Amino acid sequence: MNKMRLYTPGPTSVPEEVLLEMAKPVFHHRTQQYKDLFAKVNEGLKYVYQTKNPVLTISGSGTAGAEMAMINTIPANGNVLFLSNGKFAERWVKIGERNKWNATVLKAEYGTATSVDQVAETLKQKHYDAVVLVHSETSACTVTDLQGIAALTRNTDTILISDGITAVGAIPVKTDEWGVDVVITGSQKALMLPPGLAFISVSEKAQKKAATIKQPNLYLDLNSYLKSYNENDVPWTPAVTLVRGLFVALNMIQSETIEGVWKRTSGLAAATRAAANALGLGVFSKQPSDSVTGINYPPGFTDKEFRGALRKQLNMNVAAGQGTMEGKMFRISHMGYVDQADTLGVIHGVEIILRQQGYKFEFGAGVAAAHKELAKLQDK
């Protein structure tokens, strides 16, 4: 009997403590009991986000959070600068197209990120109401310099919207210190929950901008959420069970400390990259994110057969490549409920299937390289 091992970058594994909390009886949400719980959750989210501003909780996916962020802070016919370097960044461009904003798209190849200098030069050319980027592009396993770009917008009236869906709770995100106006994430990533919740932080600048924008959406009206937030409530029916689980997950993060989480994630990512290089496969991204590592396939390998064998024989689930990288790489997550043993285990599993499918390499080289990196983590 094989234990299911989930290494996909969403959904990620959910801790037993969180699952047990969510298995408890559901209580009514329009009660003081819910408000008291939600008040604690709101404080925990501020800690993870490193912000003093509201972090709103929406029953919906990360895409719902991203759409909510944009439609409430970007005016009709607004000028928007999109940074696009992967599948999810491309999705946010589609939201811009549907809203008929005046979009400028800075495209970068998958595995690379738009530089701060490129953004700075573009911002000189005209006024932009918003800049929209993906901090950790999951599809391309690539990180963008959010801090550097935030320095360009923080003292202007341009709203900076960051997709932090595989960044928040995994890699350093210092919302207030850097001056990021809106940061989005989802429950099924580093926050160690099933899918179903989205979160967005809202700076004072973004709140003021939202107050001036008249948009027709009811469910995703940011001002309605802000009003309810001040009373530790939400305007529409919340996912009570997920919020209960979130409270436990946030306590786990606070016990480890957010800096401890960043350190652990970084170490696991470094170990996985070292393993990929030792096996002769190499890492896909030129600017890799610590949240998720993309590993190239050897020539002649078929994604369906490799991942299928890994899942069938060892019950290890890794993710396929997306967009332009579909079939060319597989991805291993380092977010959330994952530790050194998990990481060494999946590297060992990858080696087993590689050998079975005829790839020539020194068996054990990946695990040995990962061990060396993890030893550095212990020494820090």
Of the pLDDT bands very low, low, confident and very high (cuts 50, 70, 90), residue 379 is low
Residue 4 has pLDDT above 90, yes or no: no
Instruction: Give the pLDDT mean for 22-49.
Output: 97
Q: Are residues 205 and 291 in the same domain?
A: no
pLDDT level of residue 179 (50, 70, 90 thresholds): very high
The two tokens of residue 346 are 């999946």
**Domain boundary pick from 227, 256, 285:** 256
Query: Do 269 and 229 belong together in one domain?
Result: no
Q: Residues 285-288: contacts with CB within 8 Å, 24+ apart?
A: 285/111, 285/112, 285/140, 285/141, 285/142, 286/111, 286/112, 286/142, 287/111, 287/112, 287/113, 287/142, 287/143, 287/144, 288/141, 288/142, 288/143
Examine the domain organization and report whether 249 and 261 are in the same domain.
no
Q: Which of 213, 235, 256 is the last residue of a domain?
A: 256
Confidence category of residue 380, pLDDT binned at 50, 70, 90: low
pLDDT averaged over the chain?
Answer: 96
Are 127 and 240 within one domain? yes
CATH number at residue 345: 3.90.1150.10
Angle at 185 between CA 180 and CA 189, to 5 degrees: 140
Q: 80 with 216, same domain?
A: yes
Q: Are residues 170 and 283 in the same domain?
A: no
Q: How confident is the model at residue 94 (pLDDT cuts 50, 70, 90)?
A: very high
The answer on 81 and 200 residing in a single domain is: yes
Same domain flag for 298 and 344: yes
pLDDT at 376 over 90: no
276 pLDDT above the threshold of 60: yes
The per-residue pLDDT for range 298-338, each reduced to its tens digit, is: 999 999 999 999 999 999 999 999 888 889 999 999 999 99
- pLDDT (0 to 100) of residue 111: 96
pLDDT category, 351, cuts 50, 70, 90? Answer: very high
**Residue 230 pLDDT level (bands cut at 50, 70, 90):** very high
The domain total for the chain is: 2
The CATH number of whichever domain residue 231 belongs to comes to 3.40.640.10
Q: Are residues 248 and 277 in the same domain?
A: no
Domain range for 283 is: 5-9+257-379
For residue 378, what pLDDT band results from cuts at 50, 70 and 90? confident
pLDDT at 118: 98
Q: Supply the pLDDT for residue 1.
A: 57
φ/ψ of 288, rounded to 5, equals -65, 140
The single-letter DSSP state of residue 173 is -
Domain stop point among 231, 256, 281: 256
pLDDT of 377: 74
Same domain, 87 and 137: yes
For residue 3, the model assigns a pLDDT of: 81
**247 and 265 part of one domain:** no
Residue 37 predicted with pLDDT over 80: yes
Residue 165 neighbours by CB under 8 Å, 6+ apart: 10, 62, 88, 134, 136, 138, 184, 185, 186, 189
Residues 156 and 217 in one domain: yes
Mean pLDDT of 192-221: 97
